[in-house]
Amino acid sequence: MKGKSFNKLAIVMAMSTAFVFSNANVSLADENLDSNIATKEDTTKSNYQEVKENYDKAEENYQKANASLKDAEKSYEIQKENQENLKNEYMQEKNNLDSSKKDLENEINQNILDQEGKVKKASEDLNNGEKNLDQAKKDLSKDKDNITSKQEAKKLADEKLKEEKEKNPNIEEIVKEDEKNLNEAKASKDKSQKAFDEKSKELDGKSNDLKDLEKKKKI
């Protein structure tokens, strides 16, 4: 833009110079033909004044063009700086977004791992609870069998009591011993029943916890 203004000025000055020389030549020719020196001087002064005015006008236009060029260059630099600032802000926001996205992905993955660990632990606890429950059932069944056996033994003893009472004076002590064994068997059975109930309750709780964890994992 600045180069074009200089070119315009050069053209104007060249034209003005040519005009001066042309008029000067014309004036010399006229001088040879016309002997009126005063008229020639007036014509020359008039031509010089016109050239000067054209030059001043061209200089003024050049100064305006130069000022416009500087304003344009200043505006361009400001726009360039603003563009660079916007670019830096964009890159900063993009980096922040990428970092936040990565942190969120890490947090989600960690939560998934934590939930999977809880589900695994709950499953192991449930399996152990089921094993303990099975053992409690076996113990309860065994105690029931012992009670039945003791009851049958007592019944048999009662039947034989009458027959053996007269023959064996110690029969009552045997009966008492059988009753004692029966009571112990009942106590063992009650203890096993209590353990069975506790294990069942504990297993139900763990089963519910596992279901809750499975629901959270799906979410």
| 34 & 76 share domain | yes
pLDDT digits (tens, 9 = 90+) for 2-11: 444 444 444 5
pLDDT of residue 159: 76
- Answer whether residue 71 shows pLDDT above 80: yes
The model carries a pTM of 0.36
Choosing from 79, 107, 135, the residue where a domain stops is 107
pLDDT of residue 194: 81
pLDDT digits (tens, 9 = 90+) for 77-86: 998 898 898 8
Average pLDDT over residues 129-158: 76
| 68 & 122 share domain | no
Q: 1 falls in which pLDDT band (50, 70, 90)?
A: very low
Choosing from 40, 73, 107, the residue where a domain stops is 107
| 102 & 14 share domain | yes
Instruction: Compute the CA torsion angle 127, 128, 132, 134 (nearest 10 deg).
Output: 20
| 85 & 14 share domain | yes
Q: How many domains does the chain have?
A: 2
62: domain range?
2-107
Flag whether 113 is in a domain.
no
- DSSP string over 11-78: HHHHHHHHHHHHHHHHHHHHHHH---HHHHHHHHHHHHHHHHHHHHHHHHHHHHHHHHHHHHHHHHHH
| 87 & 158 share domain | no
| 16 & 85 share domain | yes
| 126 & 185 share domain | yes
pLDDT digits (tens, 9 = 90+) for 28-39: 444 454 455 556
| 201 & 136 share domain | yes
pLDDT digits (tens, 9 = 90+) for 47-70: 778 777 888 887 888 888 888 888
pLDDT digits (tens, 9 = 90+) for 92-123: 888 888 888 888 888 888 888 888 888 788 77
| 152 & 70 share domain | no
